[in-house]
Amino acid sequence: MTQQAAAEDFLLLNPGPVPLTDDVRQTMDAPMVSHRSAAFEETYERAQRGLDRVFTESTLDSRRTAAEGAGTSLILNGTATMGMEAAVANLVGKSEEVVALVNGKFGRRFARIADRYAEVKRVEVEWGQAFDLEDVREAITEKTDLVTMVHNETSTGILNPVSAVGEITEGGDALFAVDGVTSLGGDVFCIDDWGVDVAITDAQKALAAPPGISAMYVTERAADRTDGERAPFYSDLEWHLRKAESNQTPFTSAVPLVRALAVAVEEIEDEGLADRIRRHRRQAAAFRRGFSAMGLEGFPETEGLTVRSNTVTATELPAEIEPADFFAAVEARNVSLSGGQAHLGGEIFRVSNMGTLADEDVLRGVRVVGEAMAEAGAEVDGEAGCKAARAVFASDDERDREEASVEAAGE
C-alpha cells in the first residue's frame, strides 16, 4: 500500500453494496424490538413512505408519476432477486407466456427465473447492445401475459429504453415488470408514464442502505392479477400486500435493516430526488470524461435509445495489461471496484457512483484508476483524466453560481 493510500480511508466503488452514511449505520445499533410491535410498525411506515416517494417521484421536476394510492410499496426480506422471482411467480403460471428482454446478466437472470414458472420467449441481443424495438413489438402478442426488462443493466453499464417498451405494452393485457435495482434512487424512473406495473429495487444500491432487503412497487392492476398460491410460500404477494396494510411483513422482519432503510430513504428526501438524480448524472459524467481523457475506451458503444448508465460506469481494460495487476494496484490504494461478469471478466472494469458519494470520492476514483493503469503497464494520461473530471464539477459549480445570482437579482 502506498503512503498516500495508507492515509486515505477505504473507498467502496463497487456497484453494490455501496457506502453507508454514519446515521444509516448507527441506527442498526438501537435495542432490538419485536417485528410485531408498534415501534416496528412505525419504522416500517417511515420506510414505506420514503419508498413511495422514490418509486413515484423520481423525476427532474419533482412531479408524481403515479396517482396517490395507485400502488403499494412493499419491503421484502431478501435481496432484489427475491423481488424478481416474486413478480414472475405471482403473475404467471406454467401455461402462460413471458417475453423476457435480455442484453446483460440481470436481464438473463429475469429470464432464467421466468423459465421456472412459465413459457418464456426471449428477445436477446449481445450484452450491452440495444434492443431492436421492432423485434420487441413482434414478440409481444395478445398471448403475452408478462414482459420483463432491466432498466439499468449493471453488468454492462447501460440504460435500456423502458419507456419505449412500455409504449409497446400499453393497451394490451400483458403486465410489465421492470428491474430498477440500480436506477431507482439515482435516476429518473416513471411508473405510469412508462406503463410499469411492477418495479423492483434493492436496498444496497442507489438507496444506500445495507444489503439483505429489497423493495417493490405493485400497481393496483398488477395486484388484481396476483395469485399467491402458485408462488413460493415466502414470496406470496397477496400476503405481503395484506400485511403491508398494518405496516408489517408476513414473516419475521429484518428489523435492523428496515431501520437503516427508513433512515436512508429519509436522507434521499432531505437531498431531494431531483437534486439527487442531477448529482448522479454529474458524477457519472465525471467518471466517463475522466476515463476517456486518460485514453480509456468506454463500454459499450451505445446506439439509439440505449445510453450509458448514470449510476454505473463500465470501461474497457486495455489489451496490453494483465487485469489482475490492475485490480491489485487499485486494491493497494485502498479502493475497491468491480471487474466484468461472466464472459466480460477480464474485459472491462466497473465503478459505481450510487448512493451518497461526494464529488471528491469520484475524483479520487479517477485518480486511482489512472495510477493503477500506469502501474499495470497501460499508456494512460492520468493527469488529463483528473483534469477532465474536475472540469465537470467546476462547470456545474459555475452554473449553480449563475442560477443563484439570477435568483438573488429577482428577489
Summarised one tens digit per residue, pLDDT across range 244-298 is: 999 999 999 999 999 999 999 999 999 999 999 999 999 999 999 999 999 999 9
- Cβ-contact 48, 73 below 8 angstroms: yes
Task: For residues 371 and 331, give the distance between their C-alpha atoms in angstroms, rounded to a whole number.
Answer: 12
Q: List, for residues 24-33, the tens digit of each pLDDT value.
A: 999 999 999 9
Average pLDDT over residues 170-178: 95
Q: List, for residues 120-163, the tens digit of each pLDDT value.
A: 999 999 999 999 999 999 999 999 999 999 999 999 999 999 99
pLDDT band at 22 (very low <50, low <70, confident <90, very high): very high
Q: List, for residues 304-347, the tens digit of each pLDDT value.
A: 889 999 999 999 999 999 999 999 999 999 999 999 999 999 99
Taken in order of first residue, the domains within the chain and their CATH numbers are 3-18+273-410 (3.90.1150.10), 22-271 (3.40.640.10)
CA separation, residue 298 to residues 142, 199, 215, 387 (Å): 39, 28, 31, 18
Q: Which helix (DSSP H) or strand (DSSP E) does residue 146 occupy?
A: strand 144-150
Output the pLDDT for position 408: 36
- Cβ-contact 199, 214 below 8 angstroms: no
Q: Is a pLDDT exceeding 80 seen at residue 398?
A: no
Q: What percent of the chain has pLDDT over 70?
A: 94
pLDDT band at 402 (very low <50, low <70, confident <90, very high): very low
Q: List, for residues 94-129, the tens digit of each pLDDT value.
A: 999 999 999 999 999 999 999 999 999 999 999 999
pLDDT band at 68 (very low <50, low <70, confident <90, very high): confident
pTM assigned to the model: 0.93
Output the pLDDT for position 406: 30
pLDDT band at 303 (very low <50, low <70, confident <90, very high): confident
Q: Which among 203, 284, 362, 259 has a CA at the least distance from the CA of 28?
A: 259
Q: Which among 388, 365, 390 has a CA at the least distance from the CA of 293?
A: 388
Average pLDDT along the chain: 94
Output the pLDDT for position 404: 38
